[in-house]
Each structure stands twice: as C-alpha cells, then as structure tokens.
Chains A and B, each alone.
Chain A
Amino acid sequence: MIQSLRLLIPALALVVVALIPVFAPTTQVLLTLALAKSLAVLGVIVLLQAGQVSFGHALYFAVAAYTATFVGKVMGGGEIVVTLLAGAVAAGTVSVVVGLFVTRYRHIFFGMLNLALSMIFFSFLEKFYFVTGGSDGLSVARPTVIGLSLERGPFEAVLFYGSLGLVAAALFLTDRFLHSSIGQMMRAIKTNEVRLEYLGISARHVLLIGYVVSAVLCGLGGALMATAQGIVTPEYAWWIRSGEFVFIAILGGAGSIGGAVAGALIYESVRTYAAAFAADIWQMVLGFILLVIILFAPKGIMGIFQGLQPRAGSSRTRGGTKVEPAE
C-alpha cells in the first residue's frame, strides 16, 4: 500500500514528461538529452549515498559513448540495443578496474582521483585523434531499433519514449538497490565506516559495488547521449561535465533519486534557454542558481517539493536516502 503510493507520484511525473512533446514537439530532443543526462546524475546520486562525490564520472559517460560509437561503426550503423548495452558493459568493466584503486580513498581524494582519471582519458581522446577523431570527435550513425531502420522523426520519437522507459526502469531498479542491504550499507559507509568493518563487511567492497552501479548508470546515459546527439567528443570526459553531474544532483536533490530527473530537466532547460537568451552570461545564470539552491534549499528541488507536502516528506526520509548537511 505504502509501496504503491510511493511509486504513484513518480509514475505520474513520468506520464507528464511523456506528454510534453505531444504539446511542444520541438522539446522532444532536448528532453531526450536531459533524460540521458539524468541517468548519469542518477549514478552520481548512488555514490552520494555513501557520502562520496566523484568529480570524474564523465569518464564513464565518455567510455560508454565512445564504445557505443565504435560498436556502431563495426556493425555498420549498429543496433541500438547492442550499442547501449556495449556502452554500459564497457563503463562497468572500466569501473571495476578503476574502482579497485579509487575505493581505497574517501572524500576529497576520492573525488580528485576520479577527476585525474577522467582527465587522463580526456587527454587520451584528444591525443589519439587518428582513432578517436581528436577534439572534433566522431559522428555516430543512426542505429536500427530492434532491426528496424527509422527516419529521423520516428527515430527521435522512439528514442525519447525509449529513454523515458529506460529512465523509469533505472529509477525503479536503483530505488530497489538503494533500499537493499547493500544499498543501505552504502549509507553506512557515510555515517560509520569503522562500525561497518566491525560488522565484518568490507567497506571497500560495498563501495566498489556502488561504484560499478553508478558507473553503469553513467555509461548508459553517455551511450544514450551519443546516440541522441549523433556525435561524441572528448568533451564528454571533460571535468566540467563531471562537475555538471554533481551540480544537477544537488539541484535536483541528492537525497532523492527522482531528483536526478527533475534536476536534469530543469538544468537542461535553463542552460539551453540561457544560452539562447542570455548568450553572454549563461554560465553566470547557472552559477547563481546553484548558489541559491545550496544556500537556501540544500535538499534541492525534491526537497522543496517534499517541503510542500509535509506528510509525504516525513514518511519518505526515514527508510530512504537523503543527504543532510553534516551535523
């Protein structure tokens, strides 16, 4: 009963998002890009549960995007199911190797090591330009969808509704994961890692699992972004993009997985329209929004939303997942 109520609001929200392009068709691609980004942000939020922030998750975004592109090239266009899967698997694989190293670290060091690794990959993408196309990147051929070759219009529609479905599934599974024992142990890393060790649990191991989950989510987002955009560039791995994921996570509300979607939708809209109507100061606009959110609503948009409904809010904060300002 509570479980079904808990899912009602997100389900309604997704229906609303699904209907936007019906009334404003030109927003469809923008929404698809925002949904792709929201998957990456979801990944960042998973790590935030353990109190860890990665300033290098663009690494997985880029690894998956380039993998999807190369797989598409090898297949001569490719099949979207295969390219997305390949991207996610590549991100997952890299994250196991990197995770074994970075999960030894916490907080600033964790964040900065991730940053360093993503910058190495960024430089690599720019350097090996005979393979990666350098800073101009590579264009991504339009893949088939379950064997069907689609024109731009139908393809974009399929991509949008497919992304929506993917995001819904990712939200559901991530929610289940975070409420499982392992997910809760992630939060335990944040509050008391020593005790976790004295329960016989390897905090590194738990963090590694969370790290891989978050990387796979980021990877899915990156592969989807590459497909929707039709191009991959090294900018996918640039540190400011990682910062942007963290930004969106906080904007949406780091404690709530729904915040990933809400944050990404709002961020993309603001960014796009700011770039259009305040071309000279769009960064400044975003900076001020970020400051206002952190100073006056540190729980993000979802926090504001929950604040409006005290009942729903208090019942959720308990078993759920929220990031509070440190006491």
Chain B
Amino acid sequence: MKRLLIAAATASLVLTGSALADEKPDILKVGITTFLSGPASVFGEPAKAGAEMMIADINADGGIGGVPVEVYFVDEGAGGEALLAEYRRLVEDVGVDAMFASISSGNCTKIGPLAEDLKVLNIMWDCGTQRIFEENDFRYSFRTQANATPEMLSTVLYLLKTKPDLKTIAVVNQDYAWGRDSWAIFSTALKQLKPDVEVVAEFFPKFGAPDFSTEISRLQALRPDAILSTSWGGDLDTFVRQATQRGLTNTSTLVLPLAESSLERLGGALPAGHIVGARGDHYFLHPEKAGDAAFTSFVDDFKERTGAYPIYPVFHMAQALSALEGAYKKAISANGGAWPGDEAVIDAMSGLTFAGLGREVTIRDDNQGVEDQLLGTTVRVDGYDFALLDNMMMFDGDAITTPVGMISAEWLETLTPEFVDSVAFESFSHGS
C-alpha cells in the first residue's frame, strides 16, 4: 500500500516481433546528481532522502519490472570536473541504466551533450532553465517537470489576478543565471500582460549575500506595490527575515515563486498575505491530495525521517522516479512483456504521462514535461508554526508552457492582456 510512484499506465500497442528481448538484469542502476554540499544542498539533501525512501518502496514492491533499483549519488557541489568525470564513470564503468541530472541548470547544460555522447537515458529532474530544449534537440535527455517559463508566467498571472491594480514592482534576485533569467521571463510577461506597471528598482545582490539592509532601506523609500524575489535557500530566508524585521512586508507584497521550499524554515518570519510559488504543483498539503493515503503517509514518513516536510525537489524526484518506472513499464509492455533494450526505453519516454506526488505530467515531443503550476497566498493557521497557503490557484500547464518549437522570449512577446483571463485555472482555499 505504500507504493507511491504509480505510473499512469498508458495503453500501448504491442508491436509484435519488432523488438528483441534483452536479458533481464539483476539490478537496475540509477545515478543521481544532487547537491550534497554548498548552498543548494538545501534542495539536494531532502531530494536524496526522498529518493532513498521512494526507492526502498519500489524495491519493497519488487522493483521496476521485477528488477530491484540500486542508486548512486553524486555531489554536484564538488564542481564541474568532478561531476562530469563521475557522470562518465557511472555510465561507462558502473554501467548505470539511467542518470538523473541535475539540480543546477548549469550542470544540466553541461550534461545534456554528454548524455547524447554516452547514449544514456538522462532525466533532468530538477533544473529549470527553459533554454535546454529550446536550444538543443536531445534524444536522450528528458525533463520530468516544467521549466522557468511556465513557472514565471504563472506567477505573473497569479499576481495580476490577485492584485489587478498593481502599479509598481521591484525585484531582488540572486545574481546568477537563474536570478537573471527568471527576471527576464517575468518582466517580459508582465510587460505584455499589464504594460502600465512600472519597475522601480532592480537589485541583483550577489549569490549568497548575507545582508540586504541597504536594498531594504531603498525599497522602503520606494514603496513598490510588489517585490519579486526568485531567490531560494539561505538567501531567500535572509531576505524575507530582514524584510519582515524592518517592516517592509507591511508596505509591499512579496512575490516569492520558490518560497514553498522555505515556508517551514521561515517559521514566523513570513507573515500572511504574500505570494508563494512552488515550481510546479508541489505542496505538502496539496489541495487535491488531502484524502490520498499514499500521499499523506509519504509526507508523514518524510517528516518523521528528516524532521521536515517534503519540499518541491522531493516532489521533483518523485516525478523523475515515476517517469523512469512508467517508461520501463511502457517499454516492457511494448516488448511483449520481455525486458526492453536501452533504446526502447528512450522511445517509451516520449509522450509518457506519469504522476509523482502531484498532478499528472506529460512529456512533449521536445522532451519537455508539461506540469501544472500551483501558487498561493500565505496565511497563518493554528497548529502550524509557519505560514501555509491560502487562495491557491492551479494553472493548466498546457496553456502556460511555450509551444514546441518556439523560443520562450518570442512566445511571451505574442501574449496580450486578454491572456490573463483566458488561462484555465482552478481555485482552492486552505483546508478545502
């Protein structure tokens, strides 16, 4: 019953005689790159813990297609050379059947071409840069979650739906590719959807900055209606806490697309009334999963094991594992029940629909996953010593993802203010 990774069984045609049965291996080996050191280990460690729990469950049920899964973790924090060298070693020496790489978009960019060279199934399980599949045509890499474009676009939509009178906005993002890219997408979309909003300040303090006092003073003087920050981890925590300590949260609405991963840590520091996103429909109190025993028991087990509720990297990991399982099932069934060849598994990934711990995700033709986006506004609720989400909206992934073959920047330019009302979404409130 604790099986969690239920791959949506997709009906598939049995192509008789077209595939050769490979010998069934004793173990299915999976390599996972994740941050175990450095600031991004706030994502990497929970994801690793989640992977271990979920794989134990898979193996308890006999493994994938009857083959138990063995996992190898690689530290992305060890730097580029070590990561690539280790990636190769796992593929060439250890002979892993699939790789999950990675958290960092930079590492995904590095690994994409390498996976093509090594001809190994590469699931980009957490990285968000929209460029990957817009600028490359990969056969072996797939992304089992959304990318930056739908994540930012849904944030703009939520902001405009909840604050239709928005006049001014400022941004405080980390100074690295994600901070810059996400602002580029956000500001492009905002300009198209509500052209009269004025950007009053753009701050890009360096990654890992310990102090935002000066930026906060400046923002207090400017008093923008909303302040966007796509920061995460310690940087986000520091910014939010300093903003709250100095009363900035009383005068401006914070828009924090990644703050789902910081809610519990922030505790009382994040007051009610601010916008929080989750890079997908990831939330330990997912409004559609309240009665789902598998979901709630996983959340409880995870909390018990790690001391914290699962955050979006854990959910992303669940999606990656679910996709892997789904692809093998699909390929096995396409192969008449016999163990499939490596290429057959790759073929099975295309068009695959699967679900991790949220709604279903579908892999498109360009290997990009289409995932719905959940955002909400913080609310203080008895029984939790940290902020929860209320006034949630779940946006339909198809409508907000850049169409296959288009570049995000160009697609966003085609949007008009009418788009805000045309996008399908569902609303949920806390406890509903």
The answer to whether any beta carbons of A and B sit under 8 Å apart in the complex is yes
Tell me the residues in window 267-295 of chain A with beta carbons closer than 8 Å to chain B beta carbons: 268, 271-272, 275-276, 279-280, 282-283
Contact A33 B110 (CB under 8 A): no
Could you tell me how many residues of chain A have their Cβ less than 8 Å away from some Cβ of chain B? 31
Contact between B106 and A230, CB atoms less than 8 A apart: no
Contact A139 B113, beta carbon cutoff 8 Å: yes
| Residues of chain B in range 104-119 having any CB-CB distance to chain A below 8 Å | 104-106, 109-110, 113-114, 117
Q: Report whether A135 and B36 are in contact in the complex, using a CB–CB cutoff of 8 Å.
A: no
Whether B175 and A126, one on each chain, are in contact in the complex, defined by CB atoms closer than 8 angstroms, is: yes
Q: Shortest Cβ distance from B20 into chain A, in angstroms? A: 25
| Residues of B in contact, count (CB < 8 Å) | 33
The answer on a CB contact under 8 Å between B84 and A229 is yes
Distance between Cα atoms of A282 and B77 in the complex (Å): 10
In the complex, chain B residues whose CB is within 8 Å of the CB of A166:
none
Knowing A33-B81, A229-B84, A279-B36 touch, does A152 contact B177 (C-beta < 8 A)?
A: no
A139 and B177: CB pair below 8 A?
no
* Contact between B80 and A134, CB atoms less than 8 A apart: no
Residues of A within 8 A of B92 (CB): 25-26
Cβ of B79 and Cβ of A235 under 8 Å apart? yes
Residues of A within 8 A of B80 (CB): 229, 231, 233, 235
Residue of A nearest to B105 (CB): A136
Main secondary structure of the interface of B (DSSP, over half): helix
**Interface flag for A127 (CB, 8 Å):** yes
Q: Which residues of A contact B89 (CB under 8 A)?
A: 26, 30, 272, 276
Most buried by B among A127, A135, A225: A135
Is the Cβ of B78 less than 8 Å from the Cβ of A282?
Answer: yes
Q: Which residues of A contact B86 (CB under 8 A)?
A: 272, 275-276
| Complex interface: chain B residues within 8 A of A276 (CB) | 72, 74, 86, 89
Report B-chain residues with C-beta under 8 Å of the C-beta of A231. 80, 106, 109-110
With A135-B177, A135-B207 in contact, do A230 and B81 touch (Cβ < 8 Å)? no
Residues of chain B within 8 A of A137, CB atoms compared = 106, 109
Cβ–Cβ contact A275 & B110, under 8 A: no
Q: Does B428 contact A (CB under 8 A)?
A: no
Interface residues of A in 9-51 (CB under 8 A from B): 25-26, 29-30, 33
**Residues on the B chain within 8 Å of A230, using CB:** 110, 113-114
Question: Does B380 interact with chain A (Cβ within 8 Å)?
Answer: no
Taking the closest CB of chain B, its distance from the CB of A39, in whole angstroms, is: 14
Partner of B180, one of A25, A123, A129: A129
- Residues of A near B167 (CB, < 8 A) are none
Q: State in angstroms the CA–CA spacing of A103 and B328 once bound together.
A: 62
Chain B hits for A111, CB < 8 A:
none
Instruction: Give min CB distance, A29 to chain B, whole Å.
Output: 6
- The distance in angstroms between the C-alpha atoms of A133 and B129, with both chains bound, is 12
- B301 on the A face (CB < 8 A): no
Given contacts A135-B106, A152-B117, A229-B84, contact A129 B79 (CB under 8 A): no
Distance in Å: Cβ of B128 to nearest Cβ of chain A = 11
Min C-beta distance of B88 to chain A, whole Å: 6
State A268–B306 Cα separation when bound (angstroms). Answer: 33
CB-nearest residue of chain B relative to A241?
B79
Chain B residues with CB under 8 A of A126: 175-176, 206-207
B73 within 8 A of A: yes
The reply to whether A33 and B85 contact each other, CB–CB distance below 8 Å, is yes
B74, B93, B177, B206: residue with the most chain A Cβ atoms closer than 10 Å: B177
Does B250 lie at the interface of the complex (its beta carbon under 8 Å from any beta carbon of A)? no
Interface centre among A29, A30, A136, A137 (most CB of B within 10 A): A136
Minimum-distance CB pairs A-B, first 5: A135-B176, A136-B106, A136-B177, A275-B78, A134-B177
Residue positions of B touching A, CB distance < 8 A: 36-37, 72-75, 78-82, 84-86, 88-89, 92-93, 104-106, 109-110, 113-114, 117, 129, 175-177, 180, 206-207
Given A233-B106, A276-B74, A282-B75, 16 other A-B contacts at CB below 8 A? Answer: A25-B92, A26-B89, A26-B92, A29-B85, A135-B207, A136-B104, A136-B129, A139-B109, A139-B110, A229-B81, A268-B85, A272-B86, A272-B89, A275-B75, A275-B82, A276-B89
**What are some 28 contacts across the A-B interface (CB < 8 A)?**
A26-B88, A26-B89, A26-B92, A29-B85, A29-B88, A30-B88, A33-B85, A123-B206, A129-B177, A134-B175, A134-B176, A134-B180, A135-B207, A136-B104, A136-B109, A139-B109, A139-B113, A152-B117, A231-B106, A231-B109, A268-B85, A271-B78, A272-B85, A275-B82, A276-B74, A279-B73, A279-B78, A283-B37
